[in-house]
Structure 1
């Protein structure tokens, strides 16, 4: 028998995608499945991006620079400067999605066995990237009772060891929708300086902040110029998940220089994806106004519908397009699978992401699921009705 690597065995399954076979089986039975499990917006990609692909007239699709096309990096630097993030094109490394930016940062800043501290629940793939890089995730728990606000800084301090290399935040947060305030980031700044750590800031949902709340970037923290590494992506901002274009942004010259070695090893980021991403920077403001209003409408409807259900609590997300919801259930993995295997209401069911997969601490998230409000209101309304009916008859219901 050939042997599988221990790293491969340790690689966690995606809580978002592992239930796909059950969803496919449900669809084959004729059941309509409302996908609340994955952050795939149904928002139209900007026309300028689609036109750039349609009108691509080069006779050869060539390799780009390993750091990404110069024209795109220069244009992207202007975008950042316009939102008070002062960087140059030399501070930007274009990556294959935000995922590669995270992996490059881990491999650049951490050695095998080093540790990173992440408030949980967190984007589940951080676990996978850390496993691939041989890095240990040290979780610090935020709670739904506090709407998933940043845990006390003193608790972070207790977790720091000689192996700690970075603190990782996602702002606005996936999966909770929480938006970290400037004050919370200032607290992290002091901790980072005190222990000479990196601060990894995943800001791919920057444009999606609601209710008068504004985004404050970790790149705007004075005195952390060499400490902050920003992860970005066009996937959600322009509804372009499939073009796989992200970015690693930092003013730390040594980090960029070293990360570029990993960039050279994979040759270059996607060529056509960069063409679309560069064109997307010309997206008119009206596009974002429309998208913003659409997500506000979806969020408000969903939060209201969920909190009207018996035994359910849904915090109001301040950003992104996700929320973690507390349900009267015994086990979120079992519930999510039951919805797809054993339940339907008027020929419909819903697919949710078990929140247990967004925690690193064993046993947490058993009565929570992540819901992505990426469907139009008409479908969200049907999905909420299906979920309400499912909770009434679920065998593992708890009140």
Structure 2
């Protein structure tokens, strides 16, 4: 019998999607499921983006340039300039989602067997991208007791080896919602310059920051031009997850030229999605103000309700739309499956994302879950009530 590759066998399953069959079975039984497991916003896509696809005059949906259309990249550069980030269209490569941007970045700066340091918990697919690239993840554990702040920089120092090529952060964080401060970014900038590493920042949630704090990008650090790489995407910003448009941004020309070769190998990003994404850049500021206000209300509601459950610990997020919750259970994977298979309250139940899949250190995060607060406030209140009732009867 033909053999599956070792790399394929080592690819991790998604902790976010692996429970889908159990949720589908629950719905077939007539149980209402509140989906707190995945960051699919329920906010409407800007009408200007939808209209651009409806009224386009293309007669042939042809390839675009491998790096994305020039007009679109110029508009992206304009977006960054509005956010006090000075880049040009030649510093940008449009990709098929932020996922492809990460894959291109990994392929451009690391060889098989190289190492990348990542504070954990982190976006679960970083594990998958690393495995696919033959790269070793070296984790630095951040703790819920510290609200998942950046671990001491001395910990990073101790982990750097001749194989280390980059440090990767998600800012604001998925799954934690933690927003790194300017001071924390400057500490990371200093260490990557000292050791001649890349600092890769996944900034796809940059628009979602709360409590009058501001996002500080690695691209804003003076003297970091040769080290800084940003991963970005339209998925969350414009509620366009299905468009699959992201981009790489860096002022390091050698990196951009290398990533372009990967882009050329897959030909081009999707044409119609670029049309929608370019139009989305004309979204009025009011849209973002309203979206941020809505998510802040949801966050505050969720925090208030969770904090009333005995034995539950929650880290308050300053960005994105996720939080990590520590439960009084031994194994959140078992608990999450039990919720869908065996529990309902008023014929309703929950789907959550067990947090162990957001770590690469074995045995860490076993009693944690990630909650995405992408539901209306009244649904979040109901969902937390269900969680409270479930914890009363669940037995490890």
Note whether the superposition's TM-score is higher than 0.5.
yes
Q: Which residue of 2 aligns with 1:171?
A: 171
In 2, the alpha carbon distance for the partners of 1:128 and 1:206 equals 23
Tell me, yes or no, if structure 1 residue 334 matches structure 2 residue 350: no
In 1, the alpha carbon distance for the partners of 2:354 and 2:329 equals 11
In 1, the alpha carbon distance for the partners of 2:189 and 2:77 equals 24
Q: Structure 1 residue 361: deviation in Å?
A: 0.5
The count of corresponding residues between Structure 1 and Structure 2 is: 396
In 1, the alpha carbon distance for the partners of 2:330 and 2:56 equals 53
In 1, the alpha carbon distance for the partners of 2:89 and 2:30 equals 51
Q: Which residue of 2 aligns with 1:72?
A: 72
- Partner secondary structure for residue 370 of structure 1: strand
Which TM-score applies when normalising by structure 2? Answer: 0.99
- Partner secondary structure for residue 94 of structure 2: strand
In 1, the alpha carbon distance for the partners of 2:374 and 2:276 equals 22
Tell me, yes or no, if structure 1 residue 268 matches structure 2 residue 268: yes
The structure 1 segments of at least 4 consecutive aligned residues displaced by more than 3 Å after TM superposition are none
Query: CA deviation digits over 1:42-64, x for unaligned, max 9?
Result: 00000100111111221111101
In 1, the alpha carbon distance for the partners of 2:190 and 2:264 equals 34
In 1, the alpha carbon distance for the partners of 2:357 and 2:142 equals 15
In 1, the alpha carbon distance for the partners of 2:259 and 2:210 equals 34
In 1, the alpha carbon distance for the partners of 2:58 and 2:222 equals 43
Q: Which residue of 2 aligns with 1:207?
A: 207
Which TM-score applies when normalising by structure 1? Answer: 0.99
Tell me, yes or no, if structure 1 residue 20 matches structure 2 residue 20: yes
Structure 2 unaligned residues grouped into runs of 5+: none
In 2, the alpha carbon distance for the partners of 1:328 and 1:214 equals 34
Q: Structure 1 residue 119: deviation in Å?
A: 0.2
Query: CA deviation digits over 1:123-145, x for unaligned, max 9?
Result: 00000001111100000000000
Structure 1 unaligned residues grouped into runs of 5+: none
Q: Which residue of 2 aligns with 1:230?
A: 230
Q: Structure 1 residue 289: deviation in Å?
A: 1.1
Query: CA deviation digits over 1:10-55, x for unaligned, max 9?
Result: 0000100111111111111111111100000000000100111111
In 2, the alpha carbon distance for the partners of 1:284 and 1:232 equals 20
Q: Which residue of 1 aligns with 2:33?
A: 33
Task: Quote the RMSD (CA, aligned, Å).
Answer: 0.6
In 2, the alpha carbon distance for the partners of 1:100 and 1:300 equals 33
- Partner secondary structure for residue 356 of structure 1: helix
Tell me, yes or no, if structure 1 residue 180 matches structure 2 residue 180: yes
- Partner secondary structure for residue 149 of structure 1: coil
In 2, the alpha carbon distance for the partners of 1:56 and 1:330 equals 54
